[in-house]
Amino acid sequence: MTTTAESVSGPMYLDDRLPDGYVIVCAGGGGEHSFLLSKLGPSIECPRCGRTALSASLLDAYYERVRGALLNRNRVESVTP
């Protein structure tokens, strides 16, 4: 079964980038769990439940989320006296 991440609430998403790799969170198999990947290939498979996602989709959603957070922070800072 192949799935792709469209948002943080999706079945799999890239949570953060660390010096050691990428933190991937997966909501498959009846619970949320995370794992670390040193590199991203064309697709990612969860080692616990076997769910897969395309790396490009995970990266797009991650950068969209980060960009949205930065824009929101800038709006709050510009409104604060």
Q: Using CA atoms, how far apart are residues 68 and 31, in angstroms rounded to an integer?
A: 27
Average pLDDT over the chain reads 82
Q: What is the amino acid identity at position 7? A: S
The answer to the question of residue 4 being in a domain is no
Mean pLDDT of 13-41: 93
The answer to the question of residue 26 being in a domain is yes
The answer to the question of residue 58 being in a domain is yes
In total, how many domains does the chain have? 1
17 vs 3: which has the higher pLDDT: 17
Provide the residue range defining the domain that includes 71.
12-79
The answer to the question of residue 7 being in a domain is no
The answer to the question of residue 41 being in a domain is yes
pLDDT at 47 > cutoff 80: yes
pTM: 0.72
pLDDT at 80 > cutoff 70: no
Q: Radius of gyration over alpha carbons of the chain, in Å?
A: 14
pLDDT at 26 > cutoff 80: yes
pLDDT value, residue 78: 58
